[in-house]
């Protein structure tokens, strides 16, 4: 009885793996990126520098497949990971732009100068 149960379990697991592997996943593709620095007044009246980054991307699995937007400062490797709950989406014409305008430097300090890279991840871990 144990051998049959194990064999049955093995076939079930193999079947589930085959169905997972046979499902095709779309990889997100970034179509455009808009970035700029902003000055935002804080609670005590002084001004803080913020980075605004929005990406227009496509994903054949739909926009609900969006997992995060990752920004990386090239020279330092400093990285910000923005999950969906920290992003906003805006419809501009036919395009959906996703991002944030509240990105600040580490510890509230100024943003480091240099090049930044934006990467979009979907729920399967595919990156664009």
Q: Quick: pLDDT tens for 61-71.
A: 888 899 999 99
CB atoms within 10 A of CB 102: 15
pLDDT greater than 90 at residue 2: no
Token pair belonging to 84: 């969906």
pLDDT of residue 95: 92
pLDDT of residue 11: 38
pLDDT of residue 23: 54
Is residue 83 a contact partner of residue 67, using CB atoms and an 8 Å limit? yes
Q: Cα dihedral sign for 93, 28, 103, 105?
A: negative
Taking the model in full, what pTM does it have? 0.76
Token pair belonging to 41: 């007044």
pLDDT greater than 60 at residue 3: no
CA distance 23 to 25: 6
pLDDT of residue 109: 84
pLDDT of residue 115: 94
3-class state of residue 123 by DSSP: coil
Is residue 79 a contact partner of residue 72, using CB atoms and an 8 Å limit? yes
pLDDT of residue 16: 41
pLDDT of residue 21: 43
pLDDT of residue 62: 82
Residue 24 has what DSSP assignment?
-
CA distance 41 to 30: 31
């Amino acid at each position: 009885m144990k051998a049959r149960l194990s064999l049955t379990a093995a076939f079930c697991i193999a079947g589930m793996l085959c169905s997972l592997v046979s499902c095709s996943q779309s990889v997100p593709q970034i179509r455009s990126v808009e970035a700029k620095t902003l000055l935002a007044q804080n609670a005590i009246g002084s001004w803080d520098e913020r980075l605004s980054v929005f990406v227009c991307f496509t994903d054949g699995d739909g926009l609900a497949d969006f997992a995060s937007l990752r920004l990386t400062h090239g020279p330092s490797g400093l990285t910000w990971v923005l999950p969906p709950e920290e992003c906003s989406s805006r419809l501009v014409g036919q395009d959906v732009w996703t991002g944030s305008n509240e990105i600040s430097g580490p510890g509230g300090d100024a943003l480091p100068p240099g090049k930044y890279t934006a990467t979009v991840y979907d729920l399967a871990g595919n990156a664009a």
